[in-house]
Amino acid sequence: MELHWTYFGFEDDDPAMERRRLKQANLVGPAGYVSMEDGCVGGFVQRGAAAAGDHVSVVNMGGDGAESQETRATEASVRGFWKAYRRYMGY
Amino acid sequence: MVTAAPASLLQPRLAQLNADYARALDDDRLEDWPGFFGDPCLYVITTADNHRQGHAAGVIYADSPGMLHDRVAALREANVYERHTYRHLVGLPAIVGESDGLVRAETPFLVVRIMRDGRMDLFATGRYLDVVVDAHGVLLLRERRVVCDGNRFDTLLAIPL
């Protein structure tokens, strides 16, 4: 799988803002401060899954609620976002 | 423009700079890496395509020595990634310009990435587009644009090129 990263700025960005955007791009991509470990875990999962092609695995992480959790390992904010999105879009 | 005499003196020094730079990275002496740069400095990893089109963003973008130190600190203490090393093969530097005490050089490189299980991949080839300054007898990188030939990077680009 390939990801195509496109970074946008605005024509009226001043040089300081442009520099800030260029620096912010360090967070994402193959060398991203944030996304580097996502890539690492994805690699583990991909190699693990290759050995069990006829199996299915689901990790629910608390079910389908969107309540605050004690820990940051939670899907609550993402679930909350999509619940609101579906409501606004009338799905 | 390039004059023959300074170029002939500079080329071995540039080659030495590149050899030291590559050894530091390949020997896992990442803490030494920022020391190859001057202040101010610019270090960018990009693709030949993006470079050609004048796109400024990089896969890594650092425009101060502090950002280089941050990158090393993150790799040592914060980021989670699979253990790996590089083997750099760096070609001879071509001096392509000289003005106001700054030298522009272009140097081809090839990097093999060795993963913790011993797997080797041809990870990147490209050119270092450098602006180098002679700071009291020591050559320092004012700019190093790492322009990679390929259009895509494998998931893991942790260690600088």
Predicted local distance difference test score (pLDDT) of residue A71: 81
Predicted local distance difference test score (pLDDT) of residue B81: 92
Prediction ipTM score: 0.83
Nearest by CB: B63 against A19, A29, A36: A19
Q: What is the pTM of this model?
A: 0.86
Least confident of A28-42, A48-62, A73-87, B99-113: A48-62
Tell me: the pLDDT tens digits for B34-60? Answer: 999 999 999 999 999 999 999 999 999
Task: Report the chain A residue with the minimal C-alpha distance to residue B62.
Answer: A23
Whether the per-residue pLDDT at B3 is higher than 50: the answer is no
Task: Please give the interface size between A and B, counted as residue pairs whose CB atoms are below 8 Å apart.
Answer: 59
CB contacts of B154 in chain A (<8 Å) are 30
Nearest by CB: A30 against B57, B61, B156: B156
Distances (CA, A) of B119 to A70, B115, B116: 40, 5, 7
Euclidean distance between CA atoms B146 and B161, whole angstroms: 7
Distance from CA of B3 to the nearest CA of A (A): 35
